[in-house]
Amino acid sequence: MPEINIAFDLDDTLVNMMSVFDDYLEAQHGRRMPESYDQFDISGPAQLTKKEIWFLFYQVFDDINRFPIYPGAREVLTKLYEITGEPPCILTARPHRKASETYALVKRLMKKTPFTLILQHPDMSKAGHLMAMGYGHYVDDRRKNVLDIARAGIHAFMPERCYNQIPADVIKASGNIGVIDGMTHFLPYLSQFATKKVIRHDLAA
Ligand SMILES: [Mg+2]
């Protein structure tokens, strides 16, 4: 069991990838993403094919110095390390061929604080990785991941975005999902994630 009982998604959880994508979309296609859209698959709202989107994504992944870091992200991860002496874990579904760029971005986020970076295996779900490592909590902005992870019995925190709304009755029925406004949410509760006990859902979200 890890000393830190929470792990983190990278893009649009700790760093704002969509803002960089939006800049590339504007530079190369002359339009920005709509103000609001309701799906993680952005090919509709971006008016691009999946191939065109990945062409942009790969350029975005290379542009590591451009990524805004979400408020509280560095502080939460650094403090978890300070409390436990264990490097916090970031689990991302980014493509393995962008491993070096992904590492460099996380290094920029974490500065001198040690970290564990895991690139999700294509044949394994995020829930599978988290269960194998023994994590009880995970933070992810993608609705599908949050539902999968919650179903696997892991408490999922979801930073609220326009594209990831989950109906309130589904959240209530799950009992394992906490919708949060962002990484700063965790600052008052950090020591609770540094113990092995699973914290109560209503306490943290
Ligand atoms: Mg994400």
Q: What is the per-residue pLDDT for 205?
A: 47
The C-alpha angle with vertex 106 and arms to 102 and 107, in degrees rounded to 5, equals: 115
Ligand 1 centre distance from Cα of residue 202 (Å) = 23
Q: How far is the CA of 96 from the centre of ligand 1 (A)?
A: 15
Q: Who's near 173: CB < 8 A, 6+ residues apart? A: none
Instruction: Using the mean position of ligand 1's atoms as its centre, give its distance from the Cα of residue 141 in Å.
Output: 5
Would you say residue 47 has pLDDT above 90?
yes
Ligand 1 centroid to residue 190 C-alpha, Å: 21
pLDDT of residue 196: 53
| Whole-angstrom distance, CA of residue 166 vs CA of residue 205 | 15
- Residue 112 CA, ligand 1 centroid: distance in Å: 23
Domain 7-15+69-204 sits in which CATH superfamily? HAD superfamily/HAD-like (3.40.50.1000)
Q: Tokens 């790969």 label which residue?
A: 58
Q: Residue 17 C-alpha to ligand 1 middle, in angstroms?
A: 8
Arithmetic mean of pLDDT over the chain: 93
In terms of DSSP bridges, do strands 116-119 and 137-139 run parallel, antiparallel, or are they unpaired? unpaired
Distance 82 CA to ligand 1 centre (A): 25
pLDDT in tens, 113-159: 999 999 999 999 999 999 999 999 999 999 999 999 999 999 999 99
Q: What is the pTM of this model?
A: 0.93
Cα of 161 vs centre of ligand 1, distance in Å, is 11
